[in-house]
Amino acid sequence: MLSKPSMTHVLVNNSVNIYHIKIINQKTCIPPILFCLKNLEILIIENTYFCNSKQQINGKMEYLPEQIVKLEKLKTLKISHVNLTYLPNIIGNLLSLTDLSIINTTLRSLPKTISNLKSLKRLRLQNNPYLHSIKEIDGLPALHTLDVRHCSIQDLPRNLPQLVNLYMPYNSLTRLNSDITTLSNKANIEQNFEFNNNRITSITPEIRHVHTLSRLHLDHNLLHNLPRDMFDMKKLTDLFLRNNSVLPNEKQYLNNEFKKKNPKLKFSDNLFYLIN
């Protein structure tokens, strides 16, 4: 099998300052001089490691150097396909950061200082199988997209007032508890929540208070029924329930009740959907 080609991509602005670097599959390590690029706004690293690391394993990145704090203008940081197991506390000092992606790594936890990233809008942590908790992000005021697909997360995040898109398929959730009510969008923007392929057995009746929820994905879980309070969720336009454990009588009941409460909501083959 041919190895993937290496690539280093650099963009400069009108002032001839480097503001964008993408480093992919490099055979040589990333030198510390990178942290001298004071105008760098976008840094993308894939399958490449930093030089002078005392914590490398077989020449692969085990950590993110604390010198990254020198990149004060950094807005986007994307790291993937490395042996990264933790982020340094100093990452909480990257106050310009709006987009953070740590994907396909061995990440085990998040630093408490991540809560300092008040400008963070997008957080992507897909395919980190050793990551069991994301409680450190609770309360992030600007976060509107959270993608943690294919991790091992056991609990919902809390207090994300600007959240629009929440992607949590293929995790270890067993219930949707009252924490979900803290995720309602304070700007009344319609929301999309995806919880398919977990082990969810119950949903709190308080979900009715998530009044901005429009699309709810619950395919491939262990649900036997739904809380009756969901009949009053007028903004819910798409409700996916395929491959659960809902009994035929319960399906018929849900179908009848949703028709009464919202005539546009149709039930068919384990799928609720709204006809446009």
pLDDT in tens, 28-74: 888 888 899 999 999 999 998 887 554 554 545 677 888 999 999 99
Q: Give the closest residue to 166 by CA, choosing from 217, 227, 234.
A: 217
| Average confidence (pLDDT) over 81-102 | 94
Range in 39-53, 69-83, 252-266 with the lowest mean pLDDT? 252-266
Q: Is 202 part of a structural domain of the chain? A: yes
Question: Is the pLDDT assigned to residue 269 strictly greater than 80?
Answer: no
Measured torsion, CA atoms of residues 132, 222, 197, 136, in degrees rounded to the nearest 10: -30
Characterise 28 by phi-psi region: left (phi > 0), alpha (psi -120 to 50), beta (else): beta
Q: If residue 258 lies in a helix (H) or strand (E), which one and from where to where?
A: helix 248-261
Do 57 and 178 belong together in one domain?
Answer: no
Do 168 and 126 belong together in one domain?
Answer: no
Question: Is the pLDDT assigned to residue 222 strictly greater than 50?
Answer: yes
Predicted pLDDT of residue 83: 87
Q: From CA 276, how far away is CA 170, in angstroms rounded?
A: 29
Question: Is the pLDDT assigned to residue 93 strictly greater than 60?
Answer: yes
Question: Is the pLDDT assigned to residue 140 strictly greater than 90?
Answer: yes
Predicted pLDDT of residue 175: 97
List pLDDT tens digits, range 7-19. Answer: 777 878 777 788 8
> Tokens representing 153?
């997360």
Predicted pLDDT of residue 28: 82
CATH of the domain at 22: 3.80.10.10
Q: Is 138 part of a structural domain of the chain? A: no
Q: Is 141 part of a structural domain of the chain? A: no
Predicted pLDDT of residue 273: 52
CB-count burial class (<10 Å; 0-12, 13-18, 19+) for 174: middle
Q: Is 126 part of a structural domain of the chain? A: yes
Q: Is 140 part of a structural domain of the chain? A: no
- From first CA to last CA, the distance across the chain in angstroms is 48
What is the rounded average pLDDT for all residues in the chain?
88
Q: From CA 147, how far away is CA 134, in angstroms rounded?
A: 11
The phi and psi torsions of 168 (rounded to 5 degrees) equal: -130, 30
> Which of 121, 152, 183 is at the close of a domain?
152
Predicted pLDDT of residue 272: 54
| Average confidence (pLDDT) over 74-94 | 93
Q: Is 91 part of a structural domain of the chain? A: yes
Predicted pLDDT of residue 1: 38
Do 168 and 124 belong together in one domain?
Answer: no
Do 94 and 53 belong together in one domain?
Answer: yes
pTM: 0.91
Q: Is 271 part of a structural domain of the chain? A: yes
Distance of CA 210 to the CA centre of its chain: 19
Do 114 and 233 belong together in one domain?
Answer: no
Do 258 and 172 belong together in one domain?
Answer: yes
Do 9 and 99 belong together in one domain?
Answer: yes
Q: Is 94 part of a structural domain of the chain? A: yes
Residue 250 lies in domain = 154-276
SS3 assignment, position 239: strand
Question: Is the pLDDT assigned to residue 245 strictly greater than 80?
Answer: yes
Percentage of the chain surpassing pLDDT 70?
Answer: 89
Question: Is the pLDDT assigned to residue 270 strictly greater than 60?
Answer: no
Predicted pLDDT of residue 13: 77
SS3 assignment, position 102: strand
SS3 assignment, position 146: strand
Strands 145-147 and 122-124 come out as: parallel
- Looking at the structure of the chain, the number of domains it has is 2
Do 68 and 115 belong together in one domain?
Answer: yes
Would the CA dihedral through 26, 32, 38, 43 be positive or negative? positive
